[in-house]
Amino acid sequence: MSVPGPHGARRAGRSSAAVAVAMLAGCWAALGLPAPGGADPPTGCRNGFYLVRGSTLFRYDENAGDRTTVAVLPVPVNALGYAPGQGLFYGVGDYHGGSHLVTVSPGGTVTDKGPVPGGLRGAFAGAVSGRTWYVRSDDELSVVDIAPGSPTFLKVTARIELSRDVELGDFDVDPADGALYGVDTDHGPGRLTRVDPATGDVTWLPTSPTLPGAGSYGAVVITPDGTLHALNNATGRLYHVRRPGGQVTSTADGSATQHADAARCPHEDPPQPPTPPAPTVAPVPAPPAPPPARVPPSPPVVEPPGTPPPRTTPPPVPTPSPTRFVASGYKPPPLPPAKLPVTWFVVVAMLVPAVIVAVRGAVRIHR
């Protein structure tokens, strides 16, 4: 921002050094020469923030530690805000003929979009959220449409009055709650300030220690870890306010400046190296299945000759129980004597004569 006067009045004029730098930068642009600054400008805005001191555009890392000079702008630019979908910063250029709406590429190319809409002349604090550019001038917040193709593109769609008279040199949108945060220096020491963009409600938040009240905090950004970084124009020191908690530290960042502004780049995790493909291993063919084992047929059972067939034992014949006669006075008749069978009788009859003859013959021989 350009250093404003009391109660939001814009400080008029610039230092002769700033005018000389702007004229020299304009000559470089007219001749088609690259802007000084050394390294090739980046092509995108990621993981860090951009800050303008005078007319020089710097790029900082996300920890606000290292900075790189990007370019010298043809004009000082205030109210910077970055639109990620477009890859551009929107801002208010301080031309000799008045304030113009401009876009700035991450490489430092400034494009003039013509005079600013009514009410934005001299605006010095700004931030972008989505398709909306919030711009503060005096004690009101202007809402500007920055969606290309919209019927209200680059026009003020709403004006919101702030609930308190504050001197905010710059602010930034906290993605966590959508509110605007900056440092107010209109009431003595610097105060961390929160502005609700929907209602204009202003709230002061404590810090430890308190921020210096001298000068204006013209460049404010919030990095992905929630830390608010604010450059004090009068001292050139960069203050770091941890949130939540409000612990304050500071680092030297150059000499005092009459003009400063900043805008945050969206956070993006570094790309991870691609996972190498797994080595292709040729499949090992399975060994062929062994042939099925051949089982020799069982030899026929040959029974040896003459083997009698197995006997089948007939079931026992039950013996009939003898019949008992119980009639009284009855006696069975006597059994007849046993008789030799006829066969034995014949044999005996034939042998007796033979025995007699044999005996007689034996007696004669003995005599």
β-bridge pairing 110-115 and 67-72: unpaired
Q: What pLDDT is recorded for position 333?
A: 57
Q: Kindly report the number of other CB atoms within 10 A of residue 63's CB atom.
A: 13
Q: What is the DSSP string of 167-212?
A: -EEEEEE-TTT--EEEEE-SSSSBEEEEE-TTT--EEEE--BSPBP
Closest CA to 222 of 191, 254, 180, 258: 180
**Secondary structure class of 99 (helix, strand, coil):** strand
Closest CA to 5 of 109, 86, 114, 122: 122
**φ and ψ at 351, to 5 degrees?**
-80, -25
Q: What pLDDT is recorded for position 44?
A: 67
Q: What pLDDT is recorded for position 360?
A: 72
Residues across the chain: 367
Q: What pLDDT is recorded for position 149?
A: 95
Distance CA 201, CA 68 (A): 37
Distance CA 8, CA 362 (A): 186
Structure tokens given for 294: 């051949």
| Per-residue tens of pLDDT for the chain, all 367 residues | 554 444 444 333 333 333 333 443 444 333 333 344 333 344 567 889 999 998 999 999 988 888 999 999 999 999 999 999 999 999 999 888 789 999 999 999 999 999 998 878 878 899 999 999 999 987 899 999 999 999 999 999 999 999 999 999 999 999 999 999 999 999 889 999 999 999 999 999 999 999 998 889 999 999 988 999 999 999 999 999 999 889 999 999 888 998 899 999 887 766 666 766 766 766 667 777 777 767 666 666 555 555 555 565 666 655 555 445 444 454 555 655 555 454 555 555 677 666 677 767 665 655 5
Q: What pLDDT is recorded for position 1?
A: 59
Q: What pLDDT is recorded for position 20?
A: 39
Statement: 6-264 belongs to CATH 3.30.70? no
Structure tokens given for 116: 């600013």
